[in-house]
Amino acid sequence: MIVTVDKPRGWTSFDVVKKIRAISGERKVGHAGTLDPFAQGVLVLGIGRKGTKQLGRLALLEKEYEARLRLGIGTDTLDCDGKVISRMPLPQLCEKDIKEVFRSFTRTVMQTPPMFSAKKVAGTRLYKLARQNIEVDRAPVAIEIKSLTLNSFSEDTIDFSVTCSKGTYVRQLGADLALALGTVGHLVALKRMRVGHFTLEESKGLEELSKKWLSTAE
């Protein structure tokens, strides 16, 4: 079984997996692509043997996000859950300059995975090293930014939508966009709108899924 969950903010992806295990009674549950705790939106889950066998294929699907980038402040996690590590003056933003920067990123680019990520280096998750204040070299990975759309902006924030390939860290993309604009930045909001053909509109909340399995058990 494949289920798409609208992951709530503050939950890890594994928190959702544990919740689905508990309410479904099925021990074999996995997901097709991690969402950060501060992020919301589409989390594709495989339930049972048949469902989990499909996760490798589903993880390859392109993803679409909406994000809000706060400029002038950098954090160690590249999001609002981290501690402030840098500050820079705000640039004088204009729509033309932002769109030019966006166009320069809309291609295949090499992206270095952030230290606060689930990627493994020599068998160890990077975030475990980062929590010990250990930084290691990470090989850049080729990703594809298929579209990058400016939704709105103010003096210190940029709202944008991005469609991208597997392996893209939107937190890192946000930080890189800020640098290209002449400052530092971090994401204060991130919502996954789509994974392949799985959309946010058709995704279920955890409470709705709990009621579904409870009614089935009665």
Asked if 43 and 7 count as a contact pair (C-beta separation under 8 A), the reply is yes
Task: Over range 19-31, report the average pLDDT.
Answer: 92
159, exposed or middle or buried, with CB in 10 Å at 0-12, 13-18, 19+? middle
Catalytic hit among 36, 137, 159, 176: 36
Distance of CA 194 to CAs 123, 185, 203, 217, Å?
30, 24, 10, 30
Task: Over range 67-81, report the average pLDDT.
Answer: 97
pLDDT tens digits, one per residue of 159-190: 999 999 999 999 999 999 999 999 999 999 99
Share above pLDDT 90 across residues of the chain, in percent, rounded to a whole number? 82
In this predicted structure, what is the pLDDT of residue 214? Answer: 61
| Residue 129 Rama label (left phi>0; alpha psi -120 to 50; beta) | alpha
- In the residue annotation, 36 being an active-site residue is answered as yes
pLDDT tens digits, one per residue of 80-122: 999 999 999 999 999 999 999 999 999 999 999 999 988 888 8
CA distance linking residue 73 with residue 186, whole number of Å = 7
Which alpha helices (H) appear in 148-205, and where do they start and end?
A: 170-180
CA distance linking residue 55 with residue 195, whole number of Å = 12
Task: Give residue 126's identity as a one-letter amino acid code.
Answer: L
43-47, 116-120, 209-213: range with lowest mean pLDDT:
209-213
Task: Give residue 121's identity as a one-letter amino acid code.
Answer: V
Share above pLDDT 70 across residues of the chain, in percent, rounded to a whole number? 98
Q: Is the per-residue pLDDT at 209 higher than 90?
A: no
CA distance linking residue 20 with residue 29, whole number of Å = 7
In this predicted structure, what is the pLDDT of residue 210? Answer: 83
Whole-model pTM above 0.85?
A: yes
The neighbouring-strand residues paired with 189 are 68
CA distance linking residue 61 with residue 4, whole number of Å = 14
Q: Is the per-residue pLDDT at 216 higher than 70?
A: no
Who has greater pLDDT, 123 or 105?
105
